[in-house]
Every structure is written in structure tokens, then in C-alpha cells.
């Protein structure tokens, strides 16, 4: 049974600018008005700032510094994405938690956020550095009714959502490096890891893992990533509230996902190409046991990379190692 205190915060946290009357709170929680008042005082002692206005009721004006489901959902404008949310102070990997929850039947749009990951991972089990409090370490469970071969398009769609959020809120100018990185200049700001559970032509679930460095200063960047990684703080010179970024990111993800389902990937292609890393430049491609120099032309309607060699011959690549 959820504690009264937790239910009270959840009720107050639902809508950022709306007051809830003492009467309504007392009805919903089945406690007296005096008990509500006592609860409010105890929340204030913990760092919540609560405004009480006569004939309107109560609302939360400020949360304590620590991140929680409530602080993330407080100003979340999505219809379904993240309405079911889990927050963990410390996990091995939010991907592992997400797989477990998905197997147990977690609903489409469930989001798992962690403050710290001990075994954050990238593709091919490469490690993902996920220091406490310094980034967005998040996994999203989706149950899309699409053919499994289209799942990689969700990685590209997620990259577009991340760039939209970054441009809108932070002013950082991100580039999307095919297939799963977000770069600023020549440094990695974020990575996406898409994992899928499917049977033949049916997707059971997809998990989109997003790692985004937020408040990581140069000292906190591990030695092996000094020349590789960047963070929003390093790019903008100030610290950011992670909740605000997550709220906007989930909002962008939800709208892009709906566009993707209704109109297909081609509706996202243009936004992707607009911010593509090294578009029109020469790169070295390793694929089909060959290695060649090519110009990056863009992406295909289905999300594959299009490159053109010196004889103007185009190739469509579904998987390749690129020397950027």
C-alpha cells in the first residue's frame, strides 16, 4: 500500500500550475484537513515549497533537488510516454531493468530513469560511462506494431527527438552521426542503444536506451573519454536541470513516434538529414568485405545510409563501419 505521503505528492505533482483544494485532497486520501496540513508542513521540512491559496488550495512550487518520478512527471506534457515511470538511484543498467519490466508485461511507453548506472552499456557490450547525477540514463519500452526489420528506424527517430530537444532548450548545435550517436563538433554528447525482442514478423517489445551527458565537467570525464566525450554543461558553460530536459525529450519522442507510425520513416528523413554529421563530406566505408572512400549523401526512405563513390555509383548500406 502506497504511503499517504507518496499519494499526496503524486496528486500535487500531476499538474504544474493547478491548485488542488484541501477538501479534494482529504477526500482522495481519506484523511482529515488537519492531517493534510500536517503532511504539508513535513514536506516543506524536506525541501518542497508549497503554496497555499485560500479558496483555491495547494500546489507545489518547487521540489527538493533530488530527482524522482514526481520531479520528472511534474511538468511532463506527454499523453502516454512516461506516464508510467520508474526511477532508480542506482542500477547496473536501465536496459536490464527495462527488459525485465517488459517481460513482466510493462505497458507501451513505460520509461525507466536512473541517477547512476554501474554497468551502463553501448552496442556490442561496450561500456557506457554513467556517473551519478551527471546525465540522463534512460530506457523506453515501446510495443510498436511494425515489422521487426523497421526497428532500427526507431534509433534514427530517437536521434531526431534528441536533437530537437537540444536545439529548443539548450542552444547546443547537435549533429546526428549514423546510426546512433549525437555529436557536438567532433565529440560525443549522446548515444542510443536500441534492443528488440521479436518473433519472426512480430515485435514483442523494443527498448530504446538513451545516454546523454548533461552536467559532466572536464574533470569528471574519464581519461579514456577526454578527447571523445562532451556534455551539455561543457558546451554551454552552465549546469542544467535534468528533469526539464527529460520532459522535453519525451514530448519530442512521443510526437515523432506518432508521426513515424502514421506516415512512415520518410516523414522523419528530412529532419534527420538536416542535422546529419558530415553530410556531403568524404568518409571511409567498410562494408561487404570492402573498404572505399565515399561521399555521404543522406539516408534512404527506410533509414539505410546512402553513400556515393568517385564514379558516382551509389550504395545503400544497412550496416557498415564508417571511418569518419
Q: Single out the segment in contact with ligand BT5 by CB under 6 A; choices: 33-41, 62-70, 191-199, 260-268.
A: 191-199
Q: How are the residues of the chain apportioned to helix, strand and coil, as percentages rounded to the nearest 5?
A: 35, 30, 35
CB-wise, 9 or 162, nearer to ligand BT5? 162
Nearest to 9 by CA among 90, 73, 78, 82: 73
Q: Single out the segment in contact with ligand BT5 by CB under 6 A; choices: 61-69, 89-97, 170-178, 196-204.
A: 89-97
Q: Are 208 and 154 in contact (CB under 8 A)?
A: yes
Decide: is 194 part of the binding site for ligand BT5 (CB under 6 A).
Answer: no
Decide: is 118 part of the binding site for ligand BT5 (CB under 6 A).
Answer: no
Among 7, 188, 278, 300, binds ligand BT5 (CB under 6 A): 188
Number of residues that bind ligand BT5 (CB under 6 A): 28
**Cα 127 from chain centroid?**
18
Which residues are registered as beta bridge partners of 207? 141, 195
Decide: is 86 part of the binding site for ligand BT5 (CB under 6 A).
Answer: no
> Hunting for cell 526511477 — which residue is that?
87
CB-wise, 43 or 234, nearer to ligand BT5? 234
* 3-state SS, residue 78: coil
Residues in Cβ contact with 74 at an 8 Å cutoff, skipping those fewer than 6 apart: 13, 16, 60, 63, 243
Decide: is 177 part of the binding site for ligand BT5 (CB under 6 A).
Answer: no
Neighbours of 7 (CB within 10 A): 16
Q: Are strands 111-117 and 85-91 parallel, antiparallel or unpaired?
A: parallel
- The enclosing H or E element of 163 equals helix 151-165
Among 29, 31, 196, 225, binds ligand BT5 (CB under 6 A): 225
Total length of the chain: 324
Q: Single out the segment in contact with ligand BT5 by CB under 6 A; choices: 170-178, 225-233, 282-290, 313-321.
A: 225-233
Q: Single out the segment in contact with ligand BT5 by CB under 6 A; choices: 12-20, 187-195, 249-257, 290-298.
A: 187-195
- The enclosing H or E element of 115 equals strand 111-117
Minimum distance from CB of 156 to ligand BT5 (Å)? 14
Q: Single out the segment in contact with ligand BT5 by CB under 6 A; choices: 32-40, 42-50, 53-61, 184-192.
A: 184-192
Chain residues that interact with ligand BT5, rule: CB under 6 A: 93-95, 117, 120-123, 126, 128-130, 137-139, 180-181, 188, 191-193, 209-211, 213, 225, 228-229
Amino acid at each position: 500500500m502506497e504511503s499517504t505521503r507518496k499519494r499526496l505528492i503524486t496528486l500535487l505533482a500531476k499538474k504544474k500550475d493547478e491548485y488542488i483544494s484541501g477538501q479534494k485532497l482529504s477526500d482522495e486520501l481519506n484523511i482529515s484537513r488537519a492531517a493534510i496540513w500536517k503532511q504539508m508542513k513535513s514536506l516543506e521540512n524536506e525541501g518542497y515549497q508549497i503554496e497555499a491559496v485560500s479558496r483555491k488550495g495547494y500546489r507545489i512550487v518547487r521540489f527538493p533537488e533530488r530527482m524522482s518520478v514526481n520531479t520528472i512527471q511534474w511538468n511532463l506534457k506527454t499523453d502516454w510516454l512516461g506516464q508510467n515511470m520508474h526511477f532508480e538511484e542506482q542500477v547496473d543498467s536501465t536496459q536490464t531493468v527495462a527488459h525485465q519490466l517488459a517481460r513482466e508485461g510493462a505497458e507501451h511507453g513505460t520509461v525507466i530513469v536512473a541517477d547512476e548506472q554501474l554497468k551502463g552499456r553501448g552496442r556490442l557490450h561496450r561500456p557506457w560511462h554513467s556517473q551519478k547525477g551527471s546525465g540522463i540514463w534512460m530506457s523506453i519500452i515501446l510495443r510498436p506494431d511494425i515489422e521487426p526489420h523497421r526497428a532500427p528506424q526507431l534509433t534514427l527517430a530517437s536521434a531526431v527527438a534528441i536533437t530537437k530537444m537540444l536545439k529548443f532548450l539548450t542552444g547546443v548545435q547537435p549533429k546526428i552521426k549514423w546510426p546512433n550517436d549525437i555529436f557536438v563538433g567532433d565529440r560525443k554528447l549522446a548515444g542510443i542503444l536500441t534492443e528488440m525482442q521479436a518473433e519472426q514478423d512480430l515485435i514483442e517489445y523494443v527498448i530504446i536506451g538513451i545516454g546523454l551527458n548533461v552536467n559532466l565537467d572536464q574533470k569528471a570525464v574519464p581519461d579514456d573519454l577526454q578527447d571523445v566525450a562532451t556534455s551539455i554543461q561543457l558546451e554551454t558553460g552552465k549546469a542544467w536541470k535534468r528533469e526539464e530536459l527529460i520532459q522535453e525529450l519525451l514530448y519530442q519522442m512521443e510526437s515523432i513516434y506518432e508521426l513515424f507510425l502514421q506516415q512512415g520513416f520518410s516523414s522523419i528523413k528530412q529532419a534527420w538529414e538536416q542535422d546529419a554529421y558530415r553530410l556531403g563530406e568524404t568518409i571511409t566505408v567498410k562494408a561487404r568485405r570492402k573498404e572505399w572512400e565515399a561521399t555521404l549523401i543522406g539516408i534512404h526512405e527506410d533509414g539505410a545510409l546512402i553513400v556515393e563513390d568517385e564514379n558516382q555509383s551509389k550504395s545503400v548500406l544497412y550496416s557498415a563501419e564508417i571511418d569518419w
